[in-house]
Structure formats: structure tokens, C-alpha cells
Amino acid sequence: MVINILVCLSSLRKPLENLFLLLIPLTLTVMVSSSLSNDTAITKSALGIPIITHILLSVLAHSLLAIATLQALLLSYQYKKLKTRHPKGLIGILPPLQTMETLMFELVWAGFALLTLSILSGLIYLDNIFAQHLAHKTVFSILAWFIYATLLWGRHSIGWRGIIAIRWMLVGFAALMLAYFGSKIVLEVILAP
């Protein structure tokens, strides 16, 4: 939902309305699947406001960076189709390359800011990184932060764009996914009794 709002706000300045052809079905699918799941919710009183704030920042950062990664994949598809001179099909409904790339970097900036706040809030409320089995998550989250920082620096200082920016996006997101899923695998599969 947050992504739809961001794209809607960005569409006031750029022609992005066609992205809703992809975002709305994806949003509806996520909303329906989350309403059908039987996950038990943890109450505020069980965790406390600081941890809930950290979790909220983390989820928002991951969501924005996931959408930026999907944007990078769409850009990669556009580049491939334009290089092979087959600009038909999906490429016809997508906004221009420059608009798509600008939106991708806006999402990365927002996600990077939230990731920074998430890491800082996590480090503030982290008692013992090894006792809580969070070393994997912390290391890979900080690695992802450095990758995104390098991407944004490269864009601002050197003018990175196109395939170079897409590759950095994919590597950064892979590190971020290792932070989440890698630690989940370690905690739930390897260290589980």
C-alpha cells in the first residue's frame, strides 16, 4: 500500500500511471493472501514501542528496496528489449527509461533512509548480538547498507545509471534478503532444537 501511495505521489510529477497496471494486482494479491493467513499477531505490550518501531522501520525499508529492485528488473527488461530492437509487448505500456530510472533512485533513497534508521534503532536496542542470535542479520544488513550507499554515491558522483546501477541494486537486495532469510534459516532450521 505504501508503494502505491509513493508511486501515486510521484505520478504527479512524472508519467507513471501505467505502473499501476502492475502494482494494483500485486497489492490485491498481497492483501488477500495476508488476510487469509492465520499468523498470530504479537501485541505491543509483549515487545515494547522501541522494538515495534525498529520492526516497522525494517519492514518499510525492505518493502521500498524490494519495489526498487522490481523497478530495476523492469529497467533491465526495457534495456534488453531496446538493445535487441524489439520494443513490443510490456515495454509499450511502461514509462520511458529515464522516468523509470528516476523513480528507482527515489525509491532507493527513501529505502536507504529507512534502512539507516532501522539499523540505528536495532543497534541501540540490541543487548548482546551473539546471545540474541542476530549476528547474521546485523552483518548482512550493514553490508546491504554499504552497497546501497555505494550505489547512491556512484549515481551522485560518477553518474552511474543503466546496467551498472541495476547490478548494484540486485547485489544490495541479495545482501538484504540474506540478512532476513539467512538469519531466519539459521534460527529456525540450523539452531532449532
Q: CB-based burial of residue 21 (10 Å sphere; 0-12 exposed, 13-18 middle, 19+ buried)?
A: exposed
Phi, psi of 15 (to 5 degrees): -80, 85
| Domain membership flag for residue 127 | yes
Structural domain range at position 163: 49-190
The DSSP output letter for 193 is -
| Domain membership flag for residue 158 | yes
pLDDT tens, position by position, for the chain (193 residues)?
666 666 666 666 766 666 666 666 666 676 666 666 655 554 444 567 878 888 888 888 988 898 899 889 988 888 888 887 766 666 667 777 888 888 899 999 999 999 999 999 888 877 666 656 677 788 889 999 999 999 999 999 998 988 999 999 999 999 999 888 776 666 666 666 5
| Domain membership flag for residue 34 | no
| Domain membership flag for residue 181 | yes
> In whole angstroms, what is the distance from residue 138 CA to residue 77 CA?
32
- Count of the separate structural domains present in the chain: 1
| Domain membership flag for residue 14 | no
| Domain membership flag for residue 43 | no
Can you give the pTM of this predicted structure? 0.75
* Three-point CA angle 190, 191, 193, nearest 5°: 110
Residue 9 CB coordination number (10 Å):
11
| Domain membership flag for residue 69 | yes
